[in-house]
Amino acid sequence: MRVALTVALLLVTSSAFGQASSNAVAAEELFQQGRALLEKHELEAACEKFRASQKLDPAVGTLFSLGECYEQRSLLASAWLTYRAAAALAAQRADPREVSAQSSAQALEARLARLHITLTDPGSVAEVTVDGDPLVLEALETPLPVDPGKHRVDARGDRTWSGTVDVPDNGASAQVIVPSLAAPRPVPRPAVWRRPLAIGMLDAGLVTVGIGAIFGMQAIVKGRDVNAQCPGSSATCDNMAAVQGNGTGKTYADVSTVTIPVGLAVAAVGGVLLATSGTSVDASAGPGAASASMRWTW
């Protein structure tokens, strides 16, 4: 079982280790079982025995053996932290094994794999966990020692994010980039009345232009009829039908002159309203970058 990363592992050096344990006998038996399993190279079972023994009765030797077990399993970050915990406990108890534990921890430092978690927008992140263990956000400023293998990173802000990273076993670093978890900005929705109004104005404008065009064509027809009946000038024409037709043609021309521009103007306004009735603009900005996008809905 992979040991979950936690920067608080050194809590095993708390003052509780100075208290007498009523489970010392059971802890010793578990420790001996762990040593026997370690000699048989049954590493996972051995580590479990050492952890159980340490929980019952904390001891420098148990921590040292647990660190050795982790190291043989290539869980170098867990071994490093455990050796450091053993050194801290030994210092509390004036145990001469402090130097050996420190040396074992130092020997592993150059071989540790590290996880670098980068927050794209630190202000939007409230919590980060690795394999379920919460991390102090300030600890993310430096790469974290981790055991090789897959690790799950979860982050929480206004939104949540999860990712998995596979850390190599050659001491190389792996990186995880957490995106901004700020809530997306609400996009203002266009007024619901704009689209129906736009369609109505566009239709009305086109109909008005059509009516004006019809009156214009009728004016042209009337003008041809008058010219045919009274060649030359209609002012001196004594054909009453031609005179009346000339007046009607002028009226048609006046109507056409007014309705076509008005219709075009109304249609143009309706077209603009229709083109923008489903438009939304989305803008975002981050460190060193900014973007904007526009969308139309038809």
Q: Does residue 232 sit within a domain? A: yes
Q: Identify the domain containing residue 198 by its residue range.
A: 194-280
Q: 261-276, pLDDT tens digit by residue?
A: 887 888 788 778 777 7
Burial bucket for residue 283 (CB in 10 Å: 0-12, 13-18, 19+): exposed
| Assigned domain for 133 exists | yes
Please, are residues 180 and 121 in contact by the beta-carbon 8 Å criterion? Answer: yes
**At a CB cut-off of 8 Å and minimum separation 6, what does 125 contact?**
119, 137, 155, 156, 157, 178, 181
Domain CATH code at residue 83: 1.25.40.10
Asked if 39 and 103 sit in the same domain, the reply is yes
- 176 contacts 153 by C-beta, under 8 angstroms: yes
* Residues 158 and 79 both lie in one domain: no
Residue 269 sits in the same domain as residue 202: yes
Q: Which whole-number Å values give the CA distances from 213 to 50, 152, 219, 238, in the listed order?
A: 97, 72, 10, 30
Q: Is residue 271 part of a domain?
A: yes
Shared domain for 273 and 203, answered yes or no, is yes
Are residue 33 and residue 101 in the same domain, yes or no? yes
Residue (of 175, 178, 176) closest to 159 by Cα position: 178
How many CA atoms within 13 Å lie on the side-chain side of 257? 8
Closest CA to 153 of 129, 137, 118, 134: 129
- Residues 104, 122 within the same domain: no
The last residue of one of the domains, among 53, 82, 109, is 109
Residue with tokens 């708390």: 14
pLDDT at 95: 93
Residues 102-111, mean pLDDT to the nearest whole number: 94
What's the pLDDT tens digit per position in 139-191?
888 889 999 999 999 999 999 999 999 988 777 889 999 999 999 887 766 56
d(CA 279, CA 261): 28
Residue 104: the pLDDT is 95
In a domain, 290, yes or no: no
The number of folded domains in the chain is: 3
If asked whether residues 170 and 208 sit together in one domain, one would say: no
CATH code, domain carrying 146 = 2.60.40
Q: Could you report the per-residue pLDDT of 120-129, keeping only the tens digit for each?
A: 999 999 999 9
What is the tens place of the pLDDT at every residue in 9-68? 433 434 444 444 567 999 999 999 999 999 999 999 999 999 999 999 999 999 999 999
